């Protein structure tokens, strides 16, 4: 019905990432010990990254969400993938950030690649930041058809 071309079909997902360099560790353990774990300091900073990948094997610049109340200018330096930077109190995405991402990041960046001028298909997980009235209104206004996958199924269902 919509004849959406491959360059207008996207899959978006968020992923929490712990910042910091992980070092290799050598350990002496009993040979019968099956699981060896390393205890790490819990004060590393977490960020959330929202990424969008197109069916034509390209991707849009990601959104990186840092924890904080004020954005630090240093976060935008050395940014080779031209990521957008945002903040939240816990570094997670939420309903407001999800809507802002759709309006200020996804739509403008994908619009530059929309050769057909037609509709987009955006596949997202069932996270509450994607399933809001505001998110759906923004999508409708910009001719973006949103498909929400059921929660906890993205590892199986995402393209």
pTM of the prediction?
0.79
Q: Where are the domains of the chain?
A: 6-20+43-157
Contact 95, 88 (CB under 8 A): no
Q: Specify the 3-state DSSP secondary structure of 141.
A: helix
40: confidence class by pLDDT, cuts 50, 70, 90: low
What is residue 155's DSSP assignment?
H
What would the pLDDT profile of 57-114 be if each residue is shown by its tens digit? 999 999 999 888 887 777 777 888 889 888 888 888 888 999 999 999 999 999 998 8
Q: What share of the chain is helix, strand, coil (3-state, %, to 5)?
A: 25, 25, 50
pLDDT at 46 over 90: no
Q: What is the dotted CATH code of the domain comprising 6-20+43-157?
A: 3.30.420
38: confidence class by pLDDT, cuts 50, 70, 90: low
């Amino acid at each position: 019905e919509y004849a959406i071309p491959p360059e207008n079909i996207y899959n978006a997902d968020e992923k929490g990432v712990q910042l910091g360099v992980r070092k290799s560790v050598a350990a002496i353990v009993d040979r019968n010990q099956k699981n060896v774990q390393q205890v790490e300091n819990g004060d590393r900073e977490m960020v959330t990254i929202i990424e969008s990948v197109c069916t034509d094997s390209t991707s849009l610049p990601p959104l990186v969400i840092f924890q904080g109340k004020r954005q630090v200018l240093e976060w935008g330096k050395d940014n080779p993938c031209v990521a957008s930077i945002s903040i939240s109190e816990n570094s997670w995405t939420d309903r407001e950030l999800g809507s802002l991402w759709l309006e200020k990041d996804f739509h403008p960046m994908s619009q530059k690649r929309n050769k057909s001028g037609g509709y987009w298909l955006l596949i997202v997980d069932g996270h509450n930041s994607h399933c809001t009235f505001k998110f759906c209104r923004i999508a409708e206004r910009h001719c973006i058809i949103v498909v929400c996958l059921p929660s906890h199924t993205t590892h199986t269902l995402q393209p």
